[in-house]
Amino acid sequence: MRLTLTRRRAAAAALVAALLVPLAACSEGAGDGKPGADGSTGAAPGGAELTVLAAASLTDVFKTAGAAYEKSHPGTKITFSFAGSQELVSQVAQGSPADVLVTADTKSMDKVKADTSTPTVIARNRLVIATGKGNPFKVDELKDLADTKLKVVLAAPEVPAGKYSEKILDAQKITVKPVSQEPNVRAVLSKVELGEADAGLVYRTDAASAKDKVDAVDIPDAQNAVAAYPAATLKDSKHAEAAAAFVAWLSTPEAQKILRDAGFQQP
């Protein structure tokens, strides 16, 4: 009798153990994005969770590009961190964990060349003058920004957009006294959108993203500056192969069409 009871208990224990095995397998990072026992994220085979540090002016277009990439690369998830290129470079220098860096100028990328692969320029851009909708102050050209009655906002000198702005204004010998200097170009755009500034220098793509709220005054090519956007993988990436695949994809026809549709120019 005692032997029979022991056998029954052993059989019951074996059955419970068999039922728990698949449950444990499902709980250890299977598709929930949490690290499993082996340190994986639970993504599909060959996938990865990538962190991409990208210039603020890429905010809208990279959200679209990221969604397209994830759709065509099941198992890969991309998280973007947008900021001024100088802030991104500082993050890399301080060892912040990330996989890819995309800046709005080559000089910023050069500052962390020891931490990146060889960069590839994926797009170019140009500056425009952003004004309130309807251009209420009739800003027609760069020299109009020198009017002290205008509240003009620029990106800070250490920001790529600020450097480009300074370059074109100096070339035309135009002195502008901005009411503020912002940490990234999207902050400049926001000031104009909110009516806190009458005009500001932003990228053409930034103005296009807010065309319902601002007008864009073109700057002739002879007076303008061309912004280059280099992309590179970070050497400390824990997903080097997946990061390199994403950077390579940014130069494909699919990605380039997304960039063109947003107003970016060819590399």
Residues of the chain within CATH 3.40.190.10 domain(s) are 49-124+228-261, 125-226
Model-level pTM greater than 0.75? yes
* Cβ partners under 8 Å of residue 190, min gap 6: none
Q: Which residue has the tokens 């793509």?
A: 205
pLDDT digits (tens, 9 = 90+) for 61-76: 999 999 999 999 999 9
* Dist. CA 31–CA 24, nearest whole Å: 13
pLDDT digits (tens, 9 = 90+) for 71-98: 999 999 999 999 999 999 999 999 999 9
- As given in the structure block, the two tokens for residue 85 are 């290129």
Domain with residues 125-226, CATH architecture: 3-Layer(aba) Sandwich (3.40)
User: Which whole-number Å values give the CA distances from 184 to 39, 138, 161, in the listed order?
Assistant: 36, 25, 7
DSSP assignment, residue 160?
Answer: H
Give the 3-state secondary structure of residue 222: helix
Other CB atoms within 10 Å distance of the CB of residue 176? 20
User: Which whole-number Å values give the CA distances from 234 to 25, 112, 123, 229, 247, in the listed order?
Assistant: 32, 9, 19, 16, 11
pLDDT digits (tens, 9 = 90+) for 204-256: 999 999 999 999 999 999 999 999 999 999 999 999 999 999 999 999 999 99
From the list 97, 92, 79, the residue with the least C-alpha distance to 43 is 79
49-124+228-261 in CATH: which number?
A: 3.40.190.10
